[in-house]
Structure 1
Amino acid sequence: TVSTDFDTSDKLYFEPVFWEHIYDIIKHEKPEGVIVQLGGQTALKLAEKLERYGIKIMGTSYEALDLAEDRGRFSTLLRDNDVPFPEFGVIETAEEALELAKDLNFPILVRPSYVLGGQGMKIVINESELEHHVVNLLKDIPGNRVLLDHYLDNAIEAEADAICDGENVCIIGIMEHIEPCGIHSGDSNAVLPTFDLSDNVRQQIIDITHKIAIALKTVGLINIQFAIKDEKVFVIEANPRASRTVPFIAKAYKEPYVNYATKVMLGNKKVTDFNFDPQKSGYAIKVPVFSFNKFPNVNKELGPEMKSTGEAIHFIDDLKDPFFKKVYSERSLYLSR
């Protein structure tokens, strides 16, 4: 799939996104720097090589990108900034996992570091499941630092996208997921703006987003995912890059947010240089698209591992809309544990 318009770029390379191919292109083009924030998780994983080879990363530094990806170090940053997050611990063996589980209490969300689309994530409810999953995980991804979170059952999930220049933060959108917390954000129906969060919760999200964006020294885009339980907001994770929701919000609000963010990454502009004027009317719903008909043997239950292959946008005037009512009524229909 080519998602870059031919009118936008001077050149398009049809190459696998592997380091060897990227490095050949860099040697040929000799760019001033490379932007990794707009290539999803795959591009972020190349940042370490860019840093090692002395190639300038435009925008948020490799150090900050790596900190956000390392789930243990990121949780420490949250603690240092008084940002609530689910109780957690980092393990590297199944024995450590079983010991840690005694303090965390089940259910537990198992999350490996540096993975794409929630790969290997699972909610476990007892020691047997935990041991089995961690053993398999470390066999598939040797040496991975695995994060165990106490899973917040029946929580609401939301996410915020923002542009930051290292000093100033502009939140471009806050979306509320229709499905309960624990479903991968790519598989959730999500509503912009939020439809059921209190002003208190929204303010907590705004305050926390500002804190994290500044603490990570973000220069460009950042996406932060939250779990809300009993009116308290917990941080699940932060992605210091453009998430799948950025083009969605840009389309819904008719604002060129990626254009703004790119100018910030290049150092040409500050957030305060832009006149943000989102065209807000009604609600926009992000609807996941699945390809189960092409993969008939895939388990159709939804959980922390992403299964959608795309998304659509659906506009409604108000929450009385039949489409919203239908999606909301089916929010727990396909849940796995």
Structure 2
Amino acid sequence: MFKKILIANRGEIACRVIKTARRLGIPTVAVYSDADRNALHVTMADEAVHIGPAPSAQSYIVIDRILDAIRKTGADAVHPGYGFLSENAAFAEALEKEGVAFIGPPVGAIRAMGDKITSKKLAAEAGVNTVPGHMGLIEDADEAVTIASRIGYPVMIKASAGGGGKGMRIAWNDAEAREGFQSSRNEAKSSFGDDRIFIEKFVTQPRHIEIQVLGDKHGNTLYLGERECSIQRRNQKVIEEAPSPFLDVATRKAMGEQAVALARAVGYHSAGTVEFIVDGNRNFYFLEMNTRLQVEHPVTELITGIDLVEQMIRVAAGEKLAFGQDEVKLDGWAIESRLYAEDPYRNFLPSIGRLTRYRPPAEGKAADGTVVRNDTGVYEGGEISMYYDPMVAKLCAWAPGEGAEARLAAVDAMARALDGFEVEGVGHNLPFLAAVMQQPRFREGRLTTAYIAEEFPDGFNGVEPDGEAARVLAAVAASVNQVMQARAVQISGTIGNHRRVLGKDWVVRFGETELALTLETGVEGASVRFADGTVLPVAGSFVPGSTHASFTIAGETVGMKVDLVGPAIRLRWRGMDVKAHVRSGRVAALARLMPKKQPPDTSKMLLCPMPGVITSVSVKAGDTVEAGQALAVVEAMKMENILRAEKRAVVRRVAVEPGASLAVDELIMEFE
């Protein structure tokens, strides 16, 4: 076994590898950039080496800097995690020359499968189903348009060396093919140092399902079931699960055997993933092979009981797999939610800043047999940087059993865990993730890669409380108000011989919803009666100053985020975010007469939608622009975002120049 492992990565995955290495008794070395000097993976490792400035192109993907760290620490093995150098054949070769083990596949497999064009040719030769497309490299936008027209729209434009949703665009016509080619090429060069592009047919109504493979250096190769990864935004996964609610036993076996055939064809060892696109008739087509550990590997670990990082380490050390295909059993159902520092209310645009509050739910096994796991690389007080992927954590939930019943149990366990997750200081997608868990379509398993676009065509604007949810929120607001009122009475004491008496009748208002209720308190909690006769027993753990509390409402326990915002009580639960005002009847009547504050008019301004760098400005003062015309490009978290005109207008002035770093809502240009 190895004496010391260096992790050539950062954040969550570096922490994940350190945990397994520690369990195996192997010391670890972390590497870090200027931006990560105080990162969690640095404090967790036994040693840490500084490797350069914040941009990954000057630190994490500079091979010589990693080699220097290896020499300084005497590490005899390197785990690359995912991203960065994990699928870089030159890096694996450099390690081999140094006499250092690469905890990953052989160089030949990385080179063959890391190039999407080559991999598709090899897959076809190995008898794996492939998507129709143009496998040659594309020189320019004109050729991209010609090829796309020949294949037939829609098409997917992809970076040959890409991954993680970067360098990918869907084009539905010539104009989008031309523009998508250039954007994909720019992103590919920025993220991977390789701007080669290819095009393939985009399968409509597709599911994204992948097979986990594992092989050793002794010729043993097997598959560990599948993962459903269909819920995506900007071609990057958001929610994954294992197994897939769509596959049957026969399709799972066929996909698994094809994945193993491809792995054997390239002499693969270590953990890897073969990704497929699956249509509504369970026809499946090879997309690509990721010659590394996948972000979503925890769901496979939860349903198989196999630690994939441990297996990668053992395989790299020359050990044989200790089990065969017949011994791989799928047990229960697991779901992973990726918590990102991105604002779902702004089309999932990245957010940066300090985590002023970071309190994940408790990990481990619950009384009902479900399990919660949280893989993270951050801590309260740490920063989310603009230089790297905005992932904060991967929250997983597992439930025992099989079929639809086990899946729903896992979904409900995930919903409870999301309710208990507190994040403040940056924009984040917790409300979106919580909302998805309640959607009938998701709960029924009717998924496609267009799920987000179809279910949220106008973007995510939160969840509006319906009748039952509105009553729950009103009951909680009244209960919290009662605690605060009781505290006020204790502080104020008595006036003369009179002690202030708490009211029972209240009107709770949030948004356009207004509910009158009567709250009666008792030894075991409170009872809330609504005007329509509905009664909800309420017992809660809220105390003044707490930001999260559990409430038992009509026998069901729910976790809710609670904040006091001036006279209002802010409640966040299951994707709902309301500011509830609890008033007496008289005050509520007067409040209805108050005028509403109007938001400022920004209709003649283009504001920066996220923190980022302006890479180009396409117009100048005096230009007339048409609806849909590109105005500027903002780069954030290694992704290009094209800002377009919403309507025909004349540019009055441009306030920025390329290279400018902007904050959210900072002015880019004004219109007449």
Does 1:201 find its partner at 2:251?
yes
Alpha-carbon spacing, 1:91–1:203, altered in 2? closer, same or farther (3 Å): same
Name the SS of the counterpart of 1:217 in structure 2: coil
Give the C-alpha shift of residue 32 in structure 1: 4.3
What residue in structure 2 maps to residue 172 of structure 1?
224
What residue in structure 1 maps to residue 398 of structure 2?
315
Q: How far apart are the structure 1 equivalents of 2:392 and 2:130?
A: 29
What residue in structure 2 maps to residue 19 of structure 1?
63
AA aligned to 1:55 is E
Q: How does 1:191-230 map to 2 (within 5 A)?
A: 191-229=241-279, 230=281
Q: How far apart are the structure 2 equivalents of 1:225 and 1:272?
A: 24
Q: Structure 1 residue aligned with 2:452, among 330, 334, 337?
A: 334
Using the size of structure 2 for normalisation, the TM-score is 0.44
Does 1:41 find its partner at 2:83?
yes
Q: Structure 1 residue aligned with 2:200, among 146, 149, 164?
A: 149
What residue in structure 2 maps to residue 10 of structure 1?
27
Name the SS of the counterpart of 1:83 in structure 2: coil
Gaps spanning 5+ residues in structure 1: where?
Answer: 301-305
Q: How does 1:217-256 map to 2 (within 5 A)?
A: 217-229=267-279, 230-256=281-307
Q: Structure 2 residue aligned with 1:127, among 152, 170, 174?
A: 174
Q: How far apart are the structure 2 equivalents of 1:257 and 1:15?
A: 24
Alpha-carbon spacing, 1:25–1:47, altered in 2? closer, same or farther (3 Å): farther
Q: Contact 2:87/2:291 (CA < 8 Å) preserved in 1?
A: no
AA aligned to 1:134 is F
Does 1:163 find its partner at 2:214?
yes
Name the SS of the counterpart of 2:166 in structure 1: coil
Gaps spanning 5+ residues in structure 2: where?
Answer: 1-10, 34-59, 351-388, 413-436, 458-672
Q: Structure 2 residue aligned with 1:91, among 138, 146, 171?
A: 138
Deviations 1:195-254 (A, max 9, x none): 221233212211111111111211111111111122321111111111123233223433
Name the SS of the counterpart of 1:121 in structure 2: strand
AA aligned to 1:335 is A
Q: Contact 1:169/1:271 (CA < 8 Å) preserved in 2?
A: no
Alpha-carbon spacing, 1:65–1:297, altered in 2? closer, same or farther (3 Å): same
> In angstroms, what is the RMSD of aligned CA positions?
3.2
Does 1:55 find its partner at 2:123?
no
AA aligned to 1:146 is I
Name the SS of the counterpart of 1:115 in structure 2: strand
AA aligned to 1:22 is I
Q: How far apart are the structure 1 equivalents of 2:240 and 2:73?
A: 39
Where relative contact order (Cα < 8 A, 6+ residues apart) is larger, the structure is 1
Alpha-carbon spacing, 1:117–1:328, altered in 2? closer, same or farther (3 Å): farther
Give the C-alpha shift of residue 173 in structure 1: 2.7
Give the C-alpha shift of residue 87 in structure 1: 1.1
Moved more, 290-299 or 153-162: 290-299
Give the C-alpha shift of residue 184 in structure 1: 3.7
Does 1:263 find its partner at 2:322?
no
Q: Structure 2 residue aligned with 1:66, among 103, 111, 119?
A: 111
Alpha-carbon spacing, 1:297–1:285, altered in 2? closer, same or farther (3 Å): closer
Name the SS of the counterpart of 1:157 in structure 2: strand
Give the C-alpha shift of residue 19 in structure 1: 2.4
Q: Contact 2:276/2:285 (CA < 8 Å) preserved in 1?
A: yes
Q: Please state which structure has a larger fraction of its residues in strand.
A: 2
Give the share of equivalent positions with the same residue, in percent.
Answer: 15
Name the SS of the counterpart of 1:15 in structure 2: strand
Alpha-carbon spacing, 1:15–1:291, altered in 2? closer, same or farther (3 Å): closer
Q: How far apart are the structure 2 equivalents of 1:118 and 1:254?
A: 29
Deviations 1:66-123 (A, max 9, x none): 2111111111101211211111223132122122113211111111122342112111
What residue in structure 1 maps to residue 353 of structure 2?
none
Q: How far apart are the structure 1 equivalents of 2:90 and 2:141?
A: 28
Alpha-carbon spacing, 1:231–1:117, altered in 2? closer, same or farther (3 Å): closer
Q: Contact 2:231/2:452 (CA < 8 Å) preserved in 1?
A: no
Q: How far apart are the structure 1 equivalents of 2:282 and 2:325?
A: 33
AA aligned to 2:84 is T
Q: How far apart are the structure 2 equivalents of 1:197 and 1:204?
A: 11
Q: How far apart are the structure 1 equivalents of 2:65 and 2:164?
A: 23
Name the SS of the counterpart of 2:314 in structure 1: helix
Q: Structure 2 residue aligned with 1:105, among 146, 152, 161?
A: 152
AA aligned to 2:70 is I
Give the C-alpha shift of residue 154 in structure 1: 0.4
Q: How far apart are the structure 1 equivalents of 2:185 and 2:267?
A: 32
Deviations 1:48-77 (A, max 9, x none): 144157235534222211211111111110
- Larger Rg, first or second structure (1 or 2): 2
Alpha-carbon spacing, 1:150–1:297, altered in 2? closer, same or farther (3 Å): closer
